[in-house]
Amino acid sequence: MKKGFQLSSEVLERAVAIRRAIHQNPELGYQEHKTAALIAGRLREIGIEVIEGVGKTGVVGVIRGGLPGKVAAVRADIDALPLEEATGLPFSSRNPGVSHMCGHDMHTAMLLGLAEVLFGLRAKIRGTVKLIFQPAEECNPTGGAPAMIAGGALENPHVDAVFAQHLWPELETGAAAVRNGSMMAASDRFFITIHGRTAHGSAPEEGIDAILCAAQVISALQSIVSREVGPRDSAVVTVGTIQGGDRYNVIAGEVKLEGTVRTLRPEIQGPMASRIERIVSGVCAALGASYTYEYVKGYPATVNDPALFEIVYGAMKDVVGEKALVPELCALTAEDFAFFTEQRPCVYYWLGCRNPQTPFSKTPPLHNTAFSPQEEAMPFGMEIMLRSVLRFLGSEDCLG
């Protein structure tokens, strides 16, 4: 496959303009009506077959190649986050309290740019490309992927492989990373309510202190990873919220804890629910408290197919050279693209978007109100995806 960029400046300019339009008008999961209309309208302008309302607010485009072959799908997430933007960009969010602080606006725009290029090459393409614009990626624990799968996004025609990318500010613009096997973690949630008995703060012996009990539960939960998970396996148990108490001089009668569990392998994920409850039950029994407990499984682990890993890594080397990376460790963040990986061979990679002159320690991360990826990353993402899809379809000769 010929090295060098195949994207025209006109395609990139249109993609950047679309990115800014979506960025200014962010919508939360399953509310992406204007975003979906913009996507469908642009696909029709290009001349692409469009299916709307897939998985509620999802959109699917279909590019049928001129020659028979396999079916590749490319997925982009389209929803925003419930965050107030603080980037100061001239095209900042016009929707108070909602913003694209995870880069989904850029993911969508890159896929629309890719769609334009692929449509222009369709006569030479062996097979079909499906363009999956997915809602509600941020809506853990269900996400929007299961609804799109149930809505037929992977059928008619039957999809053989699915590709996806995500902006990654830890990497500088012009770099990309992909890993064989686990790329991101499974994400579960737990809810614990500790029931004690209120009393005056001056007479703690008359009550059962739910805050004291909660503190010991939080501390003891850390022993799960340090003593029950092998050092060569990755896992995280995090208590993210704690709510309890009514007044400074009253023994708290109730405390609520909410947290997340991140794991990479089903063998580690499976026993986590019972391990947490065992600790909660033991601490509460020791201190005379009672509890209620709920464990909710969320996104599974995102696992890359070995053959597709090789395809994407080869495309990365063509596009970014020595900045094509294979990380030793995956991230314990989670992605509902994982539901696609349970249905078909898939590959998911990270695209650098940080100014090379700025260290990551000074760069706002994902889900930060000041997150502002470089638009200069977009041609790298589109080019890597273009080459990956064509290589999978055996249509490398489409490129000049």
Cα(163)–Cα(111) distance, integer angstroms: 11
Q: What is the mean pLDDT of residues 103-113?
A: 98
* CA angle (315 as vertex; 311, 319 as ends), nearest 5: 170
pTM tops 0.85: yes
Question: Distance from CA of residue 204 to its chain's centroid?
Answer: 46
pLDDT at 2 over 70: no
Cα(281)–Cα(194) distance, integer angstroms: 10
What residue has token string 């990479």? Answer: 264
Catalytic residue among 84, 170, 375, 376: 375
pLDDT, tens only, 367-388 = 999 999 999 999 999 999 999 9
Catalytic residue among 291, 299, 348, 349: 299
pLDDT at 329: 82
Least confident of 321-325, 328-332, 386-390: 328-332
Where residue 205 falls among pLDDT bands split at 50, 70, 90?
very high
pLDDT at 3: 56
pLDDT at 4: 55
pLDDT at 5 over 70: no
pLDDT at 232: 87
pLDDT at 22 over 90: yes
pLDDT, tens only, 267-287 = 999 999 999 999 999 999 999
Mean model confidence pLDDT for the chain: 96
| SS3 at position 25 | coil
pLDDT at 6 over 70: no
Q: Show Cβ contacts of residue 352 under 8 Å, excluding neighbours closer than 6 positions.
A: 168, 169, 170, 171, 172, 173, 174, 175, 176, 177, 323, 377, 380
What residue has token string 């055996």? Answer: 394
The answer to whether residue 293 is catalytic is no
Cα(377)–Cα(79) distance, integer angstroms: 20
pLDDT at 1: 43
Q: Show Cβ contacts of residue 174 under 8 Å, excluding neighbours closer than 6 positions.
A: 320, 323, 352, 356, 376, 377, 380
The answer to whether residue 299 is catalytic is yes
